[in-house]
Amino acid sequence: MNQVLVTGLGFATSIGTRYDEVLESLRGLSNGFARKQLGEDAVAGTAGVELVCGDVKGFDLSSCDFRDWRIPDSHRFNTSLLRCLPPHGPYAVTALEQAIDMAEIDRTDLGDGHCGLFCASPGSPAMTRHYLNRMAASGWRRGPPMGIVSSVAGTLNFNLATHYGITGASCGFVSACASSSHAIGYAFDEIALGRQDLMLIVAAEDSSAESLLPFLGMNALTLNPDTHSASRPFDRQRDGFVGTGGAAALILESAASAQRRGRTPIAELLGWGQASDGYNVAAPHPQGKGIRRAMEICLQSSGVNARQVDWINAHATSTPAGDRAEATALTDLGFADDDNNTSISSTKGLTGHGLSYAGALEAAICVLAIKEGLIPGNAGLKQIDPCCAGLNLPVETRAQPLNYVLNNSCGFGGANVCHLFAAIT
Partner 1 sequence: MATAMQAATGPLGNQSAEEIEYQLRGFPDSAISSALELRSTFSTKALEDCLHGILRFYLPEGDQNFECNFECNDTGKIRIKEDLGLDSLSIAESMFKIEELFNIPIEYGEIAEVETIADASRLLTTKMTTPESVAG
Which of these segments, 18-26, 95-103, 140-148, 262-270, binds partner 1 (CB under 8 A)?
A: 140-148
In the complex, the smallest distance separating the C-beta of residue 84 from partner 1, rounded to whole angstroms, is: 9
Instruction: Please confirm, yes or no, whether 315 is among the known catalytic residues.
Output: yes
Contact 229, 381 (CB under 8 A): no
149 versus 176: smaller Cβ distance to partner 1: 149
φ, ψ of residue 277 in degrees (nearest 5): -75, -35
Active site annotation includes 285? no
Q: Is residue 108 a contact residue for partner 1 (CB under 8 A)? A: no
**Does the protein bind partner 1 through residue 111 (CB under 8 A)?**
no
Q: Which of 53, 64, 119, 177 is catalytic?
A: 177
Region binding partner 1 by CB under 8 A among candidate stretches 143-151, 154-162, 384-392, 409-417: 143-151
Comparing CB distances to partner 1, the nearer of 139 and 386 is: 139
From the candidates 163, 285, 353, 419, give the one annotated as an active-site residue.
Answer: 353
d(CA 286, CA 344): 19
Residue closer to partner 1 (CB basis): 83 or 236: 83
| Complex with partner 1: residue 69 or 404, whichever CB lies closer | 69
| 387 touches partner 1 (CB under 8 A) | no
Give me the 43-82 binding string for partner 1, x by CB under 8 A, dash otherwise: ------------------------xx---------xxx--
Q: Which stretch binds partner 1 (CB under 8 A): 16-24, 139-147, 173-181, 293-301?
A: 139-147
Determine the Cα–Cα distance for residues 9 and 182; give it in Å rounded to an integer: 17
Counting contacts by CB under 8 A, is residue 280 touching partner 1?
no
Please, what is the minimum distance in Å from the beta carbon of residue 109 to partner 1? Answer: 18
Identified catalytic residue from 64, 315, 366, 418: 315
Toward partner 1, which CB reaches closer, 78 or 305? 78
Quick one: which of 18, 57, 76, 83 contacts partner 1 (CB under 8 A)? 83
Q: Is 219 in the site for partner 1 (CB under 8 A)?
A: no
List 49, 132, 146, 256, residue binding partner 1 (CB under 8 A): 146
In this complex, which beta carbon is closest to partner 1, that of residue 80 or of residue 264? 80
Q: Give me the least distance between CB of 111 and partner 1, in Å please.
A: 15
Distance in Å, CB of 74 to partner 1, minimum = 12
Q: How many residues bind partner 1 (CB under 8 A)?
A: 16
Q: Are strands 311-313 and 343-345 parallel, antiparallel or unpaired?
A: parallel
24 vs 68 by CB, closer to partner 1: 68
One of 141, 264, 339, 386 touching partner 1 (CB under 8 A): 141
**Per-residue 3-state assignment (H helix, E strand, C coil) for the chain:** CCCEEEEEEEEEECCECCHHHHHHHHHHCCCCEEEEEECCCCCCCCCCEEEEEECCCCCECCCCCHHHCECCCHHHCCHHHHCCCCCCHHHHHHHHHHHHHHHCCCHHHCCCCCEEEEEECCCCHHHHHHHHHHHHHCCCCCCCCCCCCCCCCCHHHHHHHHHCCCCCCEEEECECECHHHHHHHHHHHHHHCCCCCEEEEEEEECCCHHHHHHHHHHCCECCCCCCCCCCCCCECCCCCECECCEEEEEEEEEHHHHHHHCCCCCEEEEEEEEEECCCCCCCCCCCCHHHHHHHHHHHHHHCCCHHHCCEEECCCCCCHHHHHHHHHHHHHCCCCCCCCCCEEECCHHHHCECHHHHHHHHHHHHHHHHHHCEECCCCCCCCECHHHCCCECCCCCEECCCCEEEEEEEEHHHEEEEEEEECCC
Active site residues: 177, 315, 353
**Interface with partner 1 by CB under 8 A: which residues?**
67-68, 78-80, 83, 134, 137-139, 141-146
